[in-house]
Amino acid sequence: DAGVTQSPTHLIKTRGQHVTLRCSPISGHKSVSWYQQVLGQGPQFIFQYYEKEERGRGNFPDRFSARQFPNYSSELNVNALLLGDSALYLCASSSGTAPATNEKLFFGSGTQLSVL
Amino acid sequence: GENVEQHPSTLSVQEGDSAVIKCTYSDSASNYFPWYKQELGKRPQLIIDIRSNVGEKKDQRIAVTLNKTAKHFSLHITETQPEDSAVYFCAATDYSSASKIIFGSGTRLSIRP
């Protein structure tokens, strides 16, 4: 039974470029959330999508955007990359709009983004 | 919005001893408190969670306690083993945006042989 899968695992970009990160949730899960984890800190919430609609947004600039596809997979896009965007980007899936309901969040292994 | 503080930032205990990690939260409306374990280079894994309608929950060597009045919750690991070495994160819901989990800054736990 596959867990949450993310691609790519590592990525190196330069300032000003854009990046697209991908996530496939656990089979049967309809919700995907994105988190940014800077080295030495806890994950910070970026977005949640449920049934292809945005259900929550964290305190991130408009350079960050996301979408969810009919098969419930998701993309996170970041434009005009800054050095400070270097981080581990984690995707998490749940069957519903966790944690508001009784579902739990399950994380993928993340995409390590380095901006030079 | 919700703010979660976690202490200590690093913790070293002798194998077999107990470890305690403490967190406080600011939003009295929060009612779900998960704990995640993250080994180096790996994904955060949910190890235990507690909801505000209970004060304590235990799963083998791991227990979590919640004091809603004081807005404190703690993770207790007994009979620590080398494989317990990892970074542990506490977290709480932010009910201004029910989809959001607010994480603490993490505790790096090291188990000394």
Confidence of residue A16 (pLDDT cuts 50, 70, 90): very high
Contacts of B34 in chain A (CB under 8 A): 99, 104-105
Q: What's the pLDDT score for residue B51? A: 86
- Dist. CA B49–CA B63, nearest whole Å: 9
- Dist. CA B47–CA B37, nearest whole Å: 7
Contacts of A95 in chain B (CB under 8 A): none
- Dist. CA B6–CA A43, nearest whole Å: 13
| Residue B14 to chain A, least CA–CA distance (Å) | 24
Cross-strand partners of A12: A114
pLDDT tens digits for range B100-109:
788 999 999 9
Among the ranges given (A85-89, A96-100, B63-67), the one the predictor scored with the smallest mean pLDDT: A96-100
Question: A100 to each of A42, B11, B95, B108, how far by Cα in Å?
Answer: 20, 32, 8, 28
- Dist. CA B90–CA B37, nearest whole Å: 9
Are the beta carbons of B43 and A108 separated by less than 8 Å? yes
Confidence of residue B32 (pLDDT cuts 50, 70, 90): confident
